[in-house]
């Protein structure tokens, strides 16, 4: 475990913990050579490997070394040990833009300033062949001068990620901010998808709430597909017109960034950085394959220094951290679990038999969900087994077709939001339905946010 005052790589002194997620922690740190404040992101290799996310980490490194811009968080260097990956990044002390918006809508001039800085940064990313794919206020930071910095390129894509059709096909992002064509899973233009997210952010900055917001995920997507939103009365007519062109569900008709920059409302006081004013990227041609090579060296048995400038090796490996294994899952996979990806079927409410499997969402941590299943096992006379993000319940009583078996797969959407899928693996279906209605659902009510895939969509006990 990293502690305050720890000297990292003989370069940085770690300070206080700034934040943490499932796979990483971020610390304030001080450069021993310059005294400069930096942010150190510490990623647990075992966790990202177990969840198949190492390629995503390597891509994030390659992308961040490509984009150097006044409104993008700067990556100073990346280091690695046998068990950890360390990002040394620009320290942005103003916090998330989300925290500012959470207090209420912003003044029009301030919202315009942040939107201008966002559009300038995103335009630069696209010029470098980088598509962010998860733009939202939580990923926009503010520095000491109150200027915006785009962060978190973990879901970003490079131009060479496109298939032969010239489109991206990985469904990712945050549901309320994602473009409709991304959800359709038929391929999408990364630049146009980012523009949609920028439009949602502009709306949020000026309104103080989301343009598309529903408790049920399917209702949310239905509104996004249709582009159904209503601007509040305090929006200027110019803003309303601009938003209608950005939040056009037809990507081919959606306004381009070049046109956005020409918009009269956006242009007012716009400080656009020309290519000559931007930092040189001549020495930052790191590709994913370069990073992959560096990490293969870092994983060798013999500690060594690397000449690539991307990764350095510690001489002593850190001990692995204990973890609760949950499978990585995003909100779009919830839809993909439906046969044939037929969205209309998800709105049918005339089926009296619970679908098998059934799913529910929870805003409780994985440990709380597992504890609840342990309680159920104890009270309902089940044997419980935990394995790779799955809780297995084995009935101790003989039924009509043997002992009842139930699997509960726990998927992570965010560290504080999980999807749990229930499946009957053994025993009689009617006995399972009886237990499902009168045993499982009532017992799970303390941790369930909404039910999906049941007779009544979104039902809460």
pLDDT beyond 80 at 243 = yes
CATH class of 7-91: alpha beta
Which range (12-21, 219-228, 443-452) has the least confidence? 443-452
Query: pLDDT tens digits for 408-451?
Result: 888 776 666 778 888 888 888 888 888 888 888 888 888 887 77
Annotate 149-188 with b (16+ C-beta within 10 A) or e (fewer): bbbbbbbbbbeebbeeeeebeebbbbbbbbbbbbbeeeeb
Contact by Cβ (8 Å): 420, 408: yes
Q: Lowest mean pLDDT: which of 62-71, 103-112, 255-264, 333-342?
A: 333-342
At 155-188, the pLDDT tens digits run 898 887 777 677 887 777 888 999 999 988 778 9
Residues of the binding site: 41
Residue-wise pLDDT for 400-419, tens only, equals 778 888 988 887 766 667 78
Min mean pLDDT across 2-6, 20-24, 67-71 is at 2-6
Q: At what angle do helices 190-207 and 237-246 cross, to 10 degrees?
A: 150
pLDDT tens-digit series, residues 245-300: 999 999 999 999 999 999 999 999 887 765 545 665 544 554 554 455 545 545 54
Report how far residue 257's alpha carbon sits from residue 198's, in angstroms, rounded to the nearest whole number: 10
Which of the residue ranges 93-107, 124-138, 294-308, 379-393 would you say has the lowest mean pLDDT? 294-308
Percent residues over pLDDT 90 in the chain: 37
Question: Is 0.85 topped by the overall pTM?
Answer: no
pLDDT category of residue 310 using cuts at 50, 70 and 90: very low
* H helix runs in 33-179, sequence order: 45-50, 54-66, 97-101, 108-127
For position 341, what pLDDT does the model report?
41
Domain extents in the chain? 7-91, 97-275, 327-452
Look at the domain 97-275 and name its fold.
Transferase(Phosphotransferase); domain 1 (1.10.510)
- Name the catalytic one among 134, 189, 290, 409: 134
Domain at 327-452: CATH code: 3.30.310.80
Catalytic, 407? Answer no
- Kindly provide the residue ranges of all beta strands, DSSP E only, lying in 357-401, ordered along the sequence: 358-362, 382-387, 390-399
| Beta carbons of 136 and 153 less than 8 angstroms apart | no
Numbered residues of the known binding site for ATP: 41
Distance of CA 381 to the CA centre of its chain: 38
């Amino acid at each position: 475990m990293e502690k305050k005052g720890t000297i990292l790589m003989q370069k940085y002194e770690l300070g206080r913990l700034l934040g943490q997620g499932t796979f990483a922690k971020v610390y304030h740190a001080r450069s021993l050579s310059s005294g400069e404040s930096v942010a150190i992101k510490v990623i647990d290799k075992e966790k990202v490997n177990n969840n198949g996310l190492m390629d995503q980490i390597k891509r994030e490194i390659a992308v961040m070394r490509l984009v150097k811009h006044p409104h993008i968080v700067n990556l100073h260097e990346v280091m690695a040990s046998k068990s950890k990956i360390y990002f040394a990044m620009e320290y942005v002390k103003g916090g998330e833009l989300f925290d500012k918006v959470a207090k209420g809508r912003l003044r029009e001039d301030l919202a315009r300033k942040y939107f201008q800085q966002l559009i300038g940064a995103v335009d630069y990313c696209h010029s470098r062949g980088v598509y962010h794919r998860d733009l939202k206020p939580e990923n926009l930071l503010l520095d000491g001068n109150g200027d915006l910095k785009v962060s978190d390129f973990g879901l970003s894509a490079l131009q060479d990620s496109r298939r032969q059709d010239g489109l991206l096909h990985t469904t990712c992002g945050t549901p309320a901010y994602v473009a409709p064509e991304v959800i359709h899973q038929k391929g999408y233009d990364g630049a146009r998808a980012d523009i949609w997210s920028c439009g949602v952010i502009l709306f949020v900055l000026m309104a103080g709430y989301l343009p598309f917001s529903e408790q049920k995920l399917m209702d949310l997507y239905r509104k996004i597909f249709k582009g159904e939103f209503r601007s509040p009365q305090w929006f200027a007519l110019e803003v309303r017109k601009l938003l209608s062109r950005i939040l056009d569900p037809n990507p081919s008709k959606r306004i381009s960034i070049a046109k956005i920059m020409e918009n009269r409302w956006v242009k007012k006081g716009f400080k656009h950085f020309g290519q000559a004013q931007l930092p040189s990227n001549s020495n930052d041609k790191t590709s994913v394959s370069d990073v992959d090579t560096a990490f293969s060296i870092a994983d060798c048995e013999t500690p060594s220094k690397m000449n690539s400038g991307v990764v350095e090796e510690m001489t002593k490996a850190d001990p692995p951290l204990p973890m609760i294994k949950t499978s990585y899952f995003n909100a779009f996979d919830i839809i993909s679990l439906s046969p044939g990806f037929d969205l209309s079927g998800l709105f049918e409410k005339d089926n009296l038999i619970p679908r098998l499997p059934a799913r529910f969402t929870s805003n409780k941590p994985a440990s709380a969900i597992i504890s609840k299943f342990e309680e159920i096992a104890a009270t309902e006379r089940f044997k419980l087994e935990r394995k790779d993000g799955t809780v297995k319940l084995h009935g101790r009583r003989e039924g009509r077709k043997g002992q009842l078996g139930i699997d509960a797969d726990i998927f992570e959407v965010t560290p504080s939001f999980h999807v749990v899928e229930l499946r009957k693996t053994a025993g009689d279906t009617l006995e399972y339905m009886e237990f499902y209605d009168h045993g499982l659902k009532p017992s799970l009510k303390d941790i369930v946010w909404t039910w999906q895939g049941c007779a009544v969509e979104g039902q809460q006990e």
